[in-house]
Amino acid sequence: MPTYWTQTVIPTLRQAPGDAEVPSHQLMLRAGLVRKLGSGSYSYLPLGLRSLNKVIAIIRDEMANAGAAEIFMPTLQPIDLWEQTKRREAYGDNLFVVTDRHGRVQALGPTHEEVVTDLIGACISSYKDLPKTVYQIQTKFRDEFRPRFGVLRSREFLMKDAYSFHTSLEGGAGSGSLDETYDKQYAAYQRIFERCGVPFMIVEAEAGPIGGNASHEFMVPSPTGEDTILTNDAGYSANVEKCETGPRDSDLTGDATGELEAVNTPGCAGIEDVCVFFKKQLKTKLATKNMLKTLVFSGANQRRVVAVVRGDHEVNEAKLRATVGCDIAMGDQDEMRNAGFAIGYVGPHVAIGKDDVDVYVDPDAAQGGFWVTGANETDHHHKHFNWQRDLIDQGVNVTVADIRNAVEGDPAPAERGGGTLQATKGIEVGHVFKLGCKYTEALGVTVSDENNQRVPVIMGCYGIGVNRILAAAIEAKTETRTGHDDNGIIWPAAIAPFTVVITPIAYEGQVKQVVDDLASTLETEHGMDVLVDDRSAEIARPGVKFKDADLIGIPIRITVGEKGLANGEVEIKARDGSNGAKGETITVDQCVAHCVALLQNIA
């Protein structure tokens, strides 16, 4: 049965509510796909749900192809599971926690590693039971620090999460290894996003709080994306947090620009504060790139790690950790103060005379020239800091290493093809990880091997932000596909709420007859989803129907009016403009065939 406009709920809006800023958010609201209930939680109206369900159907299909079995796990999860894996702390305030009437504490699942590991762990006992891949499509809860951009960052969202279990890490087809399944999921993801018609790029990523050591993100390029991706011409692409850089020069022996001079900078604990202070109070221009940003971490064995980057750069903890060779953490502020670090005013020379402090500096900061740095005394900074004179000659060892986030313009690593790194913004729609044994170890999941020895179980996990795909499809802007224009959404055919909208100029008499025939033929013989705009002229005159059809972005519109019918003709128009700005006039007889043909050319 075709869907009739008057029988469904499509509350289109002429103006977007004022709190919607990004195009996908505005259009999802205007086209009547979703409505906001509260900060970061959205209801799905019929149009939105239909698209969501189409995405879900594609995901299910590809998961089945990849050999994953669908399951369904609870949202309410005992907090001890989270304590056993130490993730209650790792997730911190992002974890929604509820207490039941008996005072038992539960987490609302932001993800399900703990629960699946517990679940599947109890279902397997032998290496012969592996590999196994399971997945679910379910609502996740995250107490986001700041929900925003509508459905792009919400507190409640739909996620497809798959988990795989193995006894071996590496091995090709038929081995049952983690690598094999990872590759299958990776390929399934490529097909899913291709079929959904969203342009995407695959990016090397940090694993984040999920854990594990190899990971790729699937990103939809868009200016409203919250992630920064760096690429080179040779095809290397990585998330900023992960991106490696090629060699950069350093020169710790560069000349000083003057005598070390203390400057009173009351209340200027931040880089920006100091620059503003210099400009306003001292009438001196000071750029952030002329400052040294000095961070203090606690490392293993009671040692401190002092990391120094240029004021306009960011320390990358993962890189620093790799350089230092042991786990490090941001120090507690009070503890740091007691240990003699003037938090907010720390400079590299804080290491002088301290044998439990190691200094690491990024090449761009390890240069001669003019530096302003913290003076290791609250409310004071130093001008004319010089590495050789003020630190190395004082007996401090300094290690120069890449410890910062990459930025646009950095050299790309030679082994990745070299060249220069370019930055783009992306919306993360999928993420695959090789988890390893993090969860199975924490929860004691093992399996017997050929020799009847208990061996650890290795895991992988694979997530897709289902509703993000909708927003990303609308948001997308590439040479090949645009998700929206001034008139509204332009859906990829595969996830459009309907494939065809039929717009009768007046739904009555012969027009009505033709419309109903077309709708039923398209549905029953070609499996299309058809929306018939049966609103009467009193409710919606033709102009309104056209505007609404454009707004909700249905790929093909067929217009049927008395005038055309007098010549046995109807009009057909592709939303993406692929058959001209005004569409084409064709005979009723050709309409169905032409519609099918047109649809094949629409992404």
Shortest Cβ 344–RNA spacing (Å): 2
Q: Which is nearer to RNA, 115 or 210 (CB)?
A: 210
Name the residue nearer to RNA (CB basis): 36 or 132: 36
First CA to last CA across the chain, in angstroms?
A: 25
Element (H, E) at 68: none
CB of 164 to RNA, least distance (A): 30
| Nearest of 599, 508, 505, 506 to residue 554 by alpha carbon | 599
Q: Would you say 164 or 222 has its CB closer to RNA?
A: 222
Write down the least CB distance from residue 582 to RNA, Å.
7
Q: Which is nearer to RNA, 177 or 559 (CB)?
A: 559
Inter-residue contact 430 to 217 (CB < 8 Å): yes
Cβ atoms of 341 and 269 within 8 Å: the answer is no
CB of residue 328 to RNA, shortest distance in Å: 10
Q: Which of 407, 414, 416, 410 is nearest to 235 (CA)?
A: 416
Contact, 181 vs 84, CB < 8 A?
A: no
CB of 321 to RNA, least distance (A): 13
Q: Which residues bind RNA (CB under 7 A)?
A: 12-19, 21, 36, 38-40, 145-149, 269-271, 293-297, 314-315, 329-331, 333, 336, 343-346, 374, 487, 505-506, 537-544, 546-551, 559-565, 571, 573, 583
Report in angstroms how near the CB of residue 600 gets to RNA at its nearest: 22
Cβ atoms within 10 Å, residue 246? 18
Question: Which stretches within 246-316 are classed as H helix?
Answer: 271-281
Tokens representing residue 95 in the block = 């974890």
3-state secondary structure of 493: helix
* Cis ω for the linkage preceding 131 (within 30 of 0): yes
Nearest by Cα to 481 from 228, 473, 59, 468: 473
Tell me whether residue 27 or residue 188 sits nearer to RNA (CB atom): 27
Closer of 101 and 563 to RNA (Cβ) = 563
The CA distance from 7 to 534, in Å, is 9
CB atoms within 10 A of CB 391: 23
CB nearer to RNA: pick between 14 and 102: 14
| Cα 119 from Cα 131, distance rounded (Å) | 15
Query: Which residue type occupies 248?
Result: R
Distance CA 335, CA 122 (A): 43
Question: Is residue 341 within 8 Å of 265, Cβ to Cβ?
Answer: no
Nearer to RNA, 296 or 464 (CB): 296
**Residue 591 contacts residue 571 (beta carbons within 8 Å):** no
Shortest distance in whole angstroms from residue 220 CB to RNA: 19
Q: How far is the CB of 381 from RNA (least distance, A)?
A: 10
Q: How far is the CB of 386 from RNA (least distance, A)?
A: 20
Residue 184 or 382 having the CB closest to RNA = 382
SS3 state of residue 34: strand
